[in-house]
Amino acid sequence: MSSREFFGHVETTLKKSFIVLIISALVLFLNPTNPLMLGFVAGLALSIVNVFLLALRIDGMARMVLMDPRKASWFMQFGVAARWAIIIGAFWFAAVSGWFNLFGMAAGFFVPLAFSLGGIMRSWIYQGAKNGVKA
C-alpha cells in the first residue's frame, strides 16, 4: 500500500466517522440528558482523535524505518501506549463520573474501526476482481 492509498483510506474513514459524529451530535442536541448518546458521541470523538494520531504515528514510523529500525519500533510502541492510556483514561472517567454510558462509549469507539475494516474489505474485493479472482 502506497502512502497515497494509506492516507486516502484514513481520510475516507475520518470523513465517514465525522458524518456519524455530526448526526449523533444533532440527536444528542434533541435529547441532551441521554447518557447512552452522550457516551456514544464522546467515544466516537475520542476514537476519531485516536485514528488521526495513529495515522500520524504510522507515517512517522514508516519514515523512521528507513533511518533506524530500532527507533521506529520504540516510536510505534510509545504511540500504542499513549493511545491506550487515552482510551483507558476515558473509560475510567466515564465510570467514575457517571456522565457517560460505558456501552455507548464503547460503541462510539468501534465506528471508525467498522468504517476502516469495510474500506479494507472493499479494497481487497476490488483488487481481486481487477486481478481476475472471483469472490
The verdict on residue 36 lying in a domain is: yes
What are the tens digits of pLDDT across the range 4-47? Answer: 788 888 899 999 999 999 999 999 999 888 999 999 999 999 99
Please state, in angstroms and rounded to a whole number, the distance separating the CA atoms of residues 92 and 105: 11
Whole-structure pTM value:
0.83
Greatest Cα pair distance, the chain, in angstroms, is 55
**Structurally, how many domains does the chain consist of?**
1
The verdict on residue 134 lying in a domain is: no
The verdict on residue 24 lying in a domain is: yes
The verdict on residue 133 lying in a domain is: no
The verdict on residue 82 lying in a domain is: yes
Cβ pair 28, 41 in contact under 8 A: yes
The verdict on residue 13 lying in a domain is: yes
Please state, in angstroms and rounded to a whole number, the distance separating the CA atoms of residues 123 and 46: 26
Please state, in angstroms and rounded to a whole number, the distance separating the CA atoms of residues 91 and 39: 10
The verdict on residue 34 lying in a domain is: yes
Please state, in angstroms and rounded to a whole number, the distance separating the CA atoms of residues 41 and 1: 31
What are the tens digits of pLDDT across the range 67-106? Answer: 877 777 777 778 888 888 989 999 999 899 988 899 999 9
Instruction: Give the pLDDT score at 135.
Output: 56
Please state, in angstroms and rounded to a whole number, the distance separating the CA atoms of residues 64 and 127: 29
The residue range of the domain holding 53 is 3-128
